[in-house]
Amino acid sequence: MSAHTLDLKNRATGDKIRGRLFYALLLVSVTVGFVLLGTLLVDVFRKGLPFVDGILLTEPPSAVPERAGARPAILGTIYIMGLLLVMAVPIGVGTAIYLEEYANREKWYNRLLELNIQNLAAVPSIVYGILGLAFLVRGLGLGRVTLAGAMILTLLVLPIVIVASREAIRAVPDSIRQGAYALGATQWQTISRQVLPAAIPGIATGSILALARAIGETAPLILVGALTYVAFDPTILGPFTALPIQIYQWIARPQEDFRLLAAAAIIVLLVILLTMNAFAIWLRNRYQRRW
Amino acid sequence: MRVTFQEELDQLESTLQEEGALVLRALRGALNALVQQEGELADEVIAFDDEIDAHYLAIEEGIQSLLARQTPVAVDLRLVLAVLHMNLHLERMADYCVTVAKLTKLVETTSPDTTLLEAFEEMGARAEEMIRVALDSFAERDLGAAESLVELDELIDRGNRRVVQHLLSLGSDPGHHEWGLRMIVVSRCLERIGDHAVDIGEQTAYLVTGEFREFTDASH
Amino acid sequence: MSEMERAHIAPVRIGSVDERILTERQERVVNQRRDVLFTVEDLTVSYAGVPALKNVSLDIYKNFITAFIGPSGCGKSTFIRCFNRMNDLIPTAAVQGTVRYHGADLYAKDVDPVEVRKRIGMVFQKPNPFPKSIYDNVAFGPRILHMRGSLDERVERALRHAALWDEVKNRLKASALSLSGGQQQRLCIARCLAVEPDVILMDEPASALDPISTTAIEDLMHDLKQEYAIVIVTHNMQQAARVADMTAFFSVEVDQERDHRTGILVEYDTTPTIFTQPADKRTEGYVTGRFG
């Protein structure tokens, strides 16, 4: 007897239960992450928002909370980020182009280069600080200046820029290169006119990721000589400070008001970060339309 | 779309029509030679067959090449197959003209029988008409005109039967024996030319309708 | 009775006429062959020491469409890439033998591959327009080669030549990727024509396209061969039959001991001959579809 009945009803099998359990665990992790982050942000904004005003942005720090501002720190952070961009992006993108378009993977020196890049990413940031102190501040005789801070942070974030740029360059289909070569383009013409323009979204994303990483670094900057109390505007070849350091300095003060100021400075830091992210997303979308 | 392919098809068709025109000339020549008993004209007709053969070969090769290279389907395929068959029929018609010419030469010296020659002129004119109708109906893809060939063929067939009876009625004069047999062959040639024209009409019908069909059965 | 026997009533034998007509036809084809554009002598291409294609010799004629057909793995794509030194881009590729273009050896030591590719253009299997506007795609070649004269005119001429101008003349600034597959392939052809090559190599140009686009490309090839020599690789032998004047059939030789599969040239002749009476049984096996 082969009475074949069709049974399509929903039944609770072991696989299905495991599936639902897994889904529940996923929800828990997402919630935990968001809840923690959310709590932090809400706390910061609640405390700091009233203190975000003209004084914070334009006045130098002072012993009196009412008159204290973070202007030198804000300028310092902006200078460092600017220098970082100017140094890290060309070096990083150049390295990526070399590795992806020119290098022969079989050669030992290219393999060594790839290995070193991976190592760079694994080094703790404080070691970069020591490096900077030894070689840039003392060795090269630069002194405890903004440029030294920017240079050391460049090294720190270089792997990020390189990896992101390599991915972006690799993502350009080989058929585009073949098409350009077949028309009689040289290697450089192909790279500069086809590969790089197509890789810009990825490179931009990588650069912004690098900046985001660097903007919060404190330890290397301190070791390279960032001052905790700077009442004047920093210059590139002069003493400097940065927002994370200013925040740290304010939190360490006994007065409650300084801690609220620190929260306000955190908000400013976040705003700078979000602005950079927004710019990166805009840049990516503008170029991605073409694909 | 497929411009070269269309040009090749058009070329095939126009070569076939050219061949048809040549066959008409050959037939006219053979008839004139027969009726006027001109041996030299008959020689020309025989030599003229080379031109028709050249067309025949060109079409054969063209079809082979076209089938191999262009894989025609639907109406294109039917056209190519129709042209293939028509080509053969035209070539056979030309051969019959040659036969008539050769027989004309063989009876050059015999005195003419006016009744017979009139009959041949009549049959010849019918045959010419049929060839024209066959070629035109193909060019126009005119099914009705193609089918009308059957009736025209009927006229030639009757003409053939009358010739045979006339020859029988002439009695058994030994001098006439050979001549008589040859004249029957001439009549037969003209009748066969008519049949081939009908076959061409059948190919036109196949091209237009897609059906393989004989216009009449064998019992007529 | 003797005269009756002599009366020739059977169908005319066309023996002597046959030969004469056939010879005339072959001479017509031979006279159509213009100058020799490429001469390939004993060409062997290896990847990492393993020969992919060996001992190929043939001539490519100007104003002809030449097709390379054969089963997959027979080296026809490798072969066509030898004509514009695109195999140089593959590090493991090694080319032995000679490829002469207008008499000059393309693989001579002092020959710059970039110079070669300016004169010998290539269209690929999958249309590969650059992610730029239609105008910029076609203008890319003239720009990088610093060609003088009006760029607008060059672009228009190339697009007209590729039978694409009417469809895109009002949206030259639109993205090339907004075109259909068939249009993209014609754009790639226009891009290739803009640098004014002598030869256009096409590696399976229509295999990624639908039948209507394929027919459009084939009609285009017929037009283009008035001015250029065209060499195409196709796995669709009916396409070769429709389009090509000369056809070369490649096959695969298997070296059992070393487990190598190497391509060889089996037969090279006019297309009607290849498809009606090929000389080699292997060719016949392939074109009749009975190939294993």
Average of per-residue pLDDT values in chain B: 91
pLDDT of residue A228: 72
pLDDT at residue C286 in the model: 92
Residues A207 and A185 in one domain: yes
Residues A43 and A123 in one domain: no
Q: How close is the nearest chain A Cα to the Cα of C278, in Å?
A: 34
Q: What is the pLDDT of residues A16-75, one digit of tens each?
A: 899 999 999 999 999 999 999 999 889 888 888 888 777 777 778 777 777 778 888 888
* Nearest by Cα to A219 from A130, A122, A88: A130
Closest C-chain CA to A198:
C131
Q: Answer yes or no: is pLDDT of C2 > 50.
A: no
Asked whether B37 and B120 are in contact (CB, 8 A), the reply is no
C4 compared with A78, residue with greater pLDDT: A78
More confident residue, C207 or C233: C233
- Residue C52, pLDDT > 90, answer yes
User: Is residue C109 a part of any domain in this protein?
Assistant: yes
**Among C8, C11, C242, beta carbon nearest to B70:** C242
CB C116 within 8 A of CB C38: no
CATH of the domain at C240: 3.40.50.300
Residue among B3, B50, B98 minimizing CB distance to C222: B3
CA–CA distance, A222 with A219 (Å, rounded to integer) = 5
For residue B24, the model assigns a pLDDT of: 95
Mutate: best of C89, C90, C118, C175, partner A, most A CBs <10 A: C89
Number of structural domains (chain A) is 2
* Contact criterion met (CB < 8 Å) for C128 and A176: yes
Region B52-60: what's the mean pLDDT? 95
Query: Nearest CB to C128: which of A179, A290, A291?
Result: A179
DSSP A4-35: ----------HHHHHHHHHHHHHHHHHHHHHH
| Alpha-carbon span B83 to B213, nearest angstrom | 16
- Interchain contact C288–B (C-beta under 8 A): no
3-state secondary structure of A262: helix
The DSSP code for A61 is P
Question: C21 and chain B: CB distance < 8 Å anywhere?
Answer: yes
pLDDT at B29: 94
Query: Same domain, yes or no, for A124 and A243?
Result: yes
Residue found by looking up tokens 């008993």 in the block: B37
Number of Cβ atoms within 10 Å of the Cβ of C257: 5
| Residue C71 DSSP code | S
Decide if C205 touches A, using CB distance below 8 A: no
In a domain, A251, yes or no: yes
- Say if residues A233 and A207 touch (Cβ distance below 8 Å): no
* One-letter amino acid for residue A280 of the chain: A
Nearest to C221 by CA among C211, C210, C232, C212: C232
Min Cα–Cα distance to chain B from C93, Å = 35
Residues B95, C12: C-beta atoms closer than 8 Å: yes
Whole-number percent of chain C with pLDDT over 70: 88
Same domain, A35 and A75: no
pLDDT at B185: 93
Quick one: A45 and A81 in the same domain? no
Q: What are A114's two structure tokens?
A: 């790839």
In a domain, A243, yes or no: yes
User: In chain A, what is the greatest distance between 2 CA atoms, to the nearest angstrom?
Assistant: 95
Range with lowest mean pLDDT among A234-238, C15-19, C53-57? C15-19
Domain that holds residue A243: 56-288
Q: Which residues of B touch C (CB under 8 A)?
A: 1-5, 49-50, 53-54, 56-58, 61, 64-65, 68-71, 92, 95, 98-99, 102-103, 106, 178, 181-182, 185
| 130-149 of C, contacting A, C-beta below 8 A | 130-132, 140-141, 144-145
pLDDT at position C158: 94
Would C1 be classed as within a structural domain?
no
Q: Extract the tokens encoding A161.
A: 């820029």
Q: CA of C173: which chain A residue's CA is closest?
A: A290
- Distance (Å, rounded) from C-alpha C4 to C-alpha B182? 8
Alpha helices in chain B (DSSP H): 3-36, 39-70, 74-106, 114-140, 143-169, 174-209
Shared domain for A95 and A171, answered yes or no, is yes
Give me the amino acid identity at C225: K
Q: How far, in Å, CA of C119 to CA of A182, rounded?
A: 10
- Residue C194 has φ and ψ, to the nearest 5°, of -65, -25
Query: Does chain C reach chain A with at least 3 CB pairs under 8 Å?
Result: yes
Query: Is residue A255 domain-shared with residue A119, that is, in the same domain?
Result: yes
Residue C34 is predicted with a pLDDT of 66
3-state class (DSSP) for residue B199: helix
DSSP string, chain C: -HHHHHS--SPPP-HHHHHHHHHHHHHHHHHH---EEEEEEEEEEEETTEEEEEEEEEEEETT-EEEEE-STTSSHHHHHHHTTTGGGGSTTEEEEEEEEETTEETTSTT--HHHHHHHEEEE-SS----SSBHHHHHHHHHHHTT--S-HHHHHHHHHHHTT-HHHHTT-TTSBGGGS-HHHHHHHHHHHHHTT--SEEEEESTTTTS-HHHHHHHHHHHHHHTTTSEEEEE-S-HHHHHHH-SEEEEEEEEEETTTTEEEEEEEEEEEHHHHHHS-SSHHHHHHHTT---
Q: What percent of chain A has pLDDT over 70?
A: 98
DSSP state of C12: P
Domain extent, residue C114, equals 35-287
Average pLDDT for chain A:
86
Closest CA to C197 of C186, C205, C189: C189
| Amino acid in position B68 | A
Worst-scoring range by mean pLDDT, A81-85, A136-140, A264-268, B162-166? Answer: A136-140
pLDDT computed for residue B218 by the predictor:
59
Residue A186: list chain C partners with CB under 8 A: 114, 144
Residue in chain C lying closest to B2 (CA): C219
- Contact indicator for C260, C103 with CB cutoff of 8 Å: no
Interchain contact, B3 vs C14, CB within 8 Å:
no
Cβ–Cβ gap C4/B70 under 8 Å: no
Structure tokens, A239 = 């003493």
The reported pLDDT for the residue numbered C7 is 40
Q: Tens of pLDDT along A197-230?
A: 889 888 988 888 888 888 888 888 888 877 777 7
Amino acid letter, residue A13: T
Q: Does C45 touch chain A (CB under 8 A)?
A: no
What one-letter code names the amino acid at B104?
T
User: Chain B contacts of C219, Cβ < 8 Å?
Assistant: 1-4
Q: In chain C, how many domains are there?
A: 1
Q: Mean pLDDT across the stretch C6-19?
A: 37
Instruction: Answer yes or no: is A121 within a domain.
Output: yes
Going along chain B from its start, the domains and CATH numbers come out as 3-209 (1.20.58.220)
User: C286: distance to nearest CA of chain A, Å?
Assistant: 31
Q: Are the Cβ atoms of C272 and B103 closer than 8 angstroms? A: no
User: Is the pLDDT reported for residue C17 higher than 50?
Assistant: no
Tokens 């009689």 locate to A184
Q: State residue A252's pLDDT score.
A: 86
User: Which chains have 3+ CB pairs within 8 A of A?
Assistant: C
For residue C115, give how far its alpha carbon lies from the nearest alpha carbon of chain A (Å). 7
Q: With an 8 Å Cβ cutoff, are A179 and C124 in contact?
A: yes
CA atoms of A128 and A134, how far apart (whole Å): 10
A144 and A38 in one domain? Answer: no
**Least confidently predicted of B106-115, B181-190, C116-125, C274-283:** B106-115
Average pLDDT rounded to a whole number, residues B174-189: 84
Contact C175 A185 (CB under 8 A): no
> What letter represents residue C65's amino acid?
I
Could A183 and C121 be called an inter-chain contact, meaning their C-beta atoms sit closer than 8 Å?
A: yes
Chains that touch C (3 or more CB pairs under 8 A): A, B
State the Cα–Cα distance between residues A130 and A217, nearest whole angstrom.
14
CATH number at residue A232: 1.10.3720.10
Tokens of A188: 């450089």
- Alpha-carbon gap, residue C18 to B125, rounded angstroms: 32
Report the amino acid identity of residue C66.
Answer: T
Residues A144, A176 within the same domain: yes
Cβ partners under 8 Å of residue B27, min gap 6: B93, B97, B124, B127, B128, B131, B193
Would you say residue A154 has pLDDT above 70?
A: yes
- How much is the average pLDDT of A239-243? 85
The reply to whether A147 and A42 lie within a common domain is: no
Query: Cβ contact (<8 Å) for A184 and C114?
Result: yes
Report if residue C49 sits inside a domain: yes
C84 shares contact with chain A (CB less than 8 Å): yes
| ipTM metric | 0.83
Residues A68 and A168 in one domain: yes
Residue appearing with tokens 């270089």: A158
By CB neighbour count within 10 A (0-12 exposed, 13-18 middle, 19+ buried), where does A33 fall?
A: exposed
Do B and C make contact via 3 or more CB pairs under 8 A? The reply is: yes
Q: Which of A117-131, A274-288, B106-120 has the lowest mean pLDDT?
A: A274-288
- Residue A1 lies inside a defined structural domain of this protein: no
On whether residue C16 sits in a domain, the answer given is no
Closest to B4 (Cβ–Cβ): which among C3, C14, C222? Answer: C222
> Residues of C with CB below 8 A from A185's CB?
114, 140, 144
For A186, A280, C141, C149, the CA distances from A193, given in Å and listed in that order, are 11, 21, 11, 21
Do C198 and C229 touch, CB atoms closer than 8 A? Answer: yes
